[in-house]
Amino acid sequence: MDGETVGVQSIKSYNRATLNSTTTTVSSYALEREIRNMQLAIQLTLYESLEALPEGVTGEILNGQLHTQPRPAGPHAVSGSVLGARLLNLFQIGDGGPGGWWIIDEPELHLVRNLDVLVPDLAGWRRERMPYPPEDQRFEVVPDWVCEILSPSTKHKDRKIKLPLYAHYGVRYTWLIDPVKRTLEAYRLEAGVWVETGRFADADQVVAPPFEIVSLDLETLWPPQRPGLARR
């Protein structure tokens, strides 16, 4: 084989190798793009599934999974309503308190739009951080404070899944209320870790951040117990 033939063969081999390399690179990019599109499609499908839930069912998307739960039981609803009304008067309306907050029941938090969707029982925003509520259902500003009211069916999710997500997105304060045990736990986020700032029970007076400027009568959160029902 002469030198010219060798040169032609070398060029052909080089071109084939370059083409194969380029094809592999293009295929790799195409595959990555396809995976991203599939992930987005899955997440959009999850949110569409959330929107399609029947009335009376609350949906959340947590770590890429759709979680559902029924409307709260009586003790849960009473505790949330009383606390919400008390904080609303003091910290939103400013009746007997400083005002300057939004206190909202069950907002739909889109901390990453349509991807992580959390619905706390109560949430609060300082107005300098969120001057106006959103026009639609999506609250995309991270709250300053959230409150979860624990029930037997949701307490594991609230503690083990939602608390880490709130920390990840930088929620500063969290309260956990257990209407069965009649307790309130208060936490503050420090360096990405929840630090307990107070634990209260029964008829204690609650003084806890971010609402420590007032004292809250914890006993008002509990509905009267029916005769013959022991606390679990």
Nearest alpha-carbon partner for 127 in 113, 144, 146: 144
Residue 114 CB neighbour total at 10 angstroms: 16
Task: Output 38 or 160, whichever has higher pLDDT.
Answer: 160
pLDDT per residue over 176-231, tens digit each?
A: 999 999 999 999 999 999 999 999 999 999 999 999 999 999 999 999 877 765 55
108-117, 119-128, 149-158: least confident range: 108-117
- As given in the structure block, the two tokens for residue 12 are 């052909």
DSSP state of 54: P
What's the pLDDT at 27?
Answer: 66
In sequence order, which residues have a C-beta less than 8 Å from that of residue 55 and are 6 or more positions away? none
Nearest alpha-carbon partner for 186 in 164, 211, 167: 211
Q: Using 50, 70 and 90 to split pLDDT, how confident is the model at 71? A: confident
Q: Using 50, 70 and 90 to split pLDDT, how confident is the model at 150? A: very high
Which long-range contacts does 86-91 make (Cβ < 8 Å, 24+ apart)?
Answer: 86/216, 86/220, 87/122, 87/124, 87/211, 90/211, 90/214, 91/124, 91/211
pTM: 0.78
| Kind of pairing between the strands at 173-178 and 145-149 | parallel
Q: 8-12, 25-29, 54-58, 59-63: which has the highest mean pLDDT?
A: 59-63
Is a pLDDT exceeding 70 seen at residue 6?
no
What's the pLDDT at 110?
Answer: 95
Order of strands across the sheet that contains 57-62:
65-70, 57-62, 116-118, 108-112, 138-139
